[in-house]
């Protein structure tokens, strides 16, 4: 499989980009990698890059977007931060990726058993981590069940995963609210912005379409 070119990127649509990711995840789940020569792709992308999607994901070592979607060099922009939340630097990176570099799809990818989400659920305190986890706390507060405070912590895996899913949605809401560039592009059909959840037990990605 060749690296994307200006010509192949030009034929891409948000729907086609999503299908590329879905097909790649199916290959990943079945341990069937696309046939690509990475050293050849190094050469092919040396004069430019033409990725088709931008993926915001967690720093978790088990959730590498290039691997779980079976993509090669020059295929996707990968933005990673613990808890896959939004800030102005990440928004700026996404605006560059879509408006200037031509990607057609933004995916906010959460995952099950997220350590950052667990920390926010437990109100963990540790140096700069304290301020970082505060950015995930709105998702914790937005999940209303269970109401029993003894069950609203990292030991309750269902609660943790529900908070992760809510965090994805709140991140998308922030993109739409805080980036006129991206919200306008989506309104015009130039890009799509969707959420997804990666299951660390199965390798499957569930897209929120």
List residues forming the annotated binding site for Zn(2+): 58, 60, 111, 114
Give binding residues as ranges: 58, 60, 111, 114
SS3 content of the chain, % helix, strand, coil (to 5): 45, 15, 40
Q: How many CB atoms lie within 10 A of CB 19?
A: 11
- Decide if 198 contacts 68 (C-beta within 8 A): yes
In sequence order, the 6+-apart residues with CB closer than 8 A to the CB of 23 are none
Q: Is 150 exposed, middle or buried (0-12, 13-18, 19+ CB in 10 A)?
A: exposed
């Amino acid at each position: 499989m060749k690296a994307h070119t200006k010509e192949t990127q030009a034929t891409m649509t948000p729907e086609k980009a999503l299908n590329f990711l879905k097909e790649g995840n199916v290959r990943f789940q079945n341990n069937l990698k696309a046939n690509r020569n990475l050293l050849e792709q190094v050469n092919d992308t040396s004069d430019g890059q033409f990725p088709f999607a931008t993926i915001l994901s967690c720093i978790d070592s088990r959730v590498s977007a290039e691997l779980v979607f079976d993509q090669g060099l020059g295929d996707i922009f990968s933005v990673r931060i613990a808890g896959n939340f939004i800030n102005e630097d990440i928004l700026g990176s996404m605006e560059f990726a879509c408006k200037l570099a031509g990607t057609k799809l933004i995916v906010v990818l959460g995952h099950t058993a997220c350590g950052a989400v667990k920390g926010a659920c437990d109100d963990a305190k540790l140096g700069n981590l304290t301020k970082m986890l505060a950015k995930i706390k709105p998702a914790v507060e937005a999940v209303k069940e269970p109401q029993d405070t003894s069950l609203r912590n990292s030991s309750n895996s269902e609660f943790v995963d529900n908070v992760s899913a809510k965090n994805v949605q709140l991140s998308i809401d922030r993109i739409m609210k805080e980036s006129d560039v991206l919200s306008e592009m989506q309104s015009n059909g130039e890009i799509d912005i969707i959420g997804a959840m990666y299951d660390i037990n199965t390798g499957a990605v569930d897209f929120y379409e």
